[in-house]
Amino acid sequence: MKTSLTIGGYLIQRLYAHGVRHIFGLPGDYVLGFYDLLSKSKLSIINTCDEQGAGFAADAYARVRGLGAVCVTYCVGGLKVANTTAEAFAEKSPEPRHFRARLLDRNTGLQSPNRARPPPPMRLGR
């Protein structure tokens, strides 16, 4: 039986295709499944002490390589990278791409009913 590609697997493939070789972040409850996929991929995981450090590292990586990626969890994790996103925007650097993941059931791809629904991601416009 042929296995289907997950959303996380597709995202990893696209990041790699765009030249990203490292992803910065801090494992948290909502992204542990994605970190499992990352650990089996060609991308290197760079764990940082906190989310803000990951955001600044991804910004520096983007300035050198053209595209950076950060993986953080919802709520506090997302709020802590707001400053780094604003800094990248203000300096007109290649803005790091931030993504967060809901906890999904590996078999169905649906959000686990055992978790409270997190708030939608914050959008910063240009």
**Mean pLDDT on 26-51:** 91
The residue among 114, 90, 92, 93 whose CA lies nearest residue 102 is 114
Contact in structure between 57 and 90 (CB atoms under 8 Å): no
Residue 121: count of CB within 10 angstroms of its CB: 10
Reported as a single tens digit per residue, the pLDDT across 23-38 is: 999 888 888 889 999 9
- Contact between residue 54 and residue 82 where contact means Cβ atoms under 8 Å apart: no
Q: How many Cα atoms are found within 13 Å in the side-chain-facing hemisphere of 25?
A: 30
> In this structure, what CATH number is given to the domain that contains residue 94?
3.40.50.970
Q: How many domains, in total, are found in the chain?
A: 1
Higher pLDDT, 96 or 76: 76
- The C-alpha angle 87, 95, 58, rounded to 5 degrees, equals 85
Q: Is residue 36 part of a domain?
A: yes
More confident residue, 2 or 85: 85
Q: What is the pLDDT of residue 40?
A: 93
Query: What is the span of the domain harbouring residue 42?
Result: 7-99
